[in-house]
Amino acid sequence: MRSVSRGLQPIYAPLLHPKHSTRIALSCTSPQPAWTRSFHATASYRALDLSYSLHDNQGKAKGAPILILHGLFGSKKNNRSVSNAFARTLSRPVYAIDLRNHGDSSHDKDHTYTALAEDVEAFLHKHNLKDATLIGHSMGAKTVMTMALRDPSCCADIIAVDNAPVDAALASDFPRYVEGMRKAEEAMPMSQKDADAIMEPYAKDLPVRQFLLTNLVREPGKPLRFRVPVKILADALDDMADFPFKNPDEARFCKRALFIRGTKSHYVSDETLPIIGRFFPRFELADVEAGHWVISENPEAFIKTVVDFLQETE
């Protein structure tokens, strides 16, 4: 793990790679101009009630809340162990959330970052959660970035894991995963083993396949099916590559932000650092030895990176 650029000055957008020799001045101390966000950034959706698990170290965690949001095809169960670790180490309650169309949360044909953000904003309001830290991986990372730029007062800080505030095509793996899930569903498998065999040509890596197959559910006497709406998520892949804010001069989050990237992943390239710095002038960067699935591939380094960031004093 390599941490970069601690203690950044809040009035600058940092360019954190050695090849960059300049800083872009961005004021966060003067009032921001009024802006008209794009329709995509502000479109109103029907907020869904989200399923969640609370990890509070048997009631001992009493600090400011932490919300952790999974990535595409994930669920709150993926973050169980790290949520427990944060609750114990930081003495802060952790809400692991199922985003819409995932886990035990409701399904809806609208699956954009604005819709995802509005769901989580409604969750914060419903549970009266103040001064929260928002942590998100991949799809969850773009969701917390969207929330922070829509309403900086919604949280105390954010931690974005292996994604950047840019329009960028998803890895070609994701359309293949969706195709494999469709084939598996059409085959109506009666066992996990049968579903795994169908998925193998579309997801060669066993850990990835096992991750995708955690979405299978069974009703007595019926074939296995995916609890996620595969067609809705397939149709949403272009939206998941998008980012609703285009102009960092019109929306900015001037509180602390940590961007964690996998050293073997391409989602947060050095070329994205200047735009990250313009949207999030106080951002810090940390590299973790992992691919895109940072949390599951290297949970120890991920936990340490998050704890170090959250334990820093202003």
Q: Helix 113-126 to helix 139-150 angle, to the nearest 10 degrees?
A: 70
**53 strand-pairing partners:** 96
138 is catalytic: yes
Among 138, 153, 172, 269, the active-site one is 138
CA distance linking residue 99 with residue 301, whole number of Å: 25
Question: Closest Cα partner for 17 from 276, 254, 288, 252?
Answer: 276
Q: Is 53 a catalytic residue?
A: no
Task: Specify whether the backbone of 91 is left (phi greater than 0), alpha (psi in -120 to 50) or beta.
Answer: left
**Six-digit token string for 306:** 């998050």
CA distance 192 to 267: 31
Q: Are 69 and 100 in contact (CB under 8 A)?
A: no
Active site residues: 138, 292
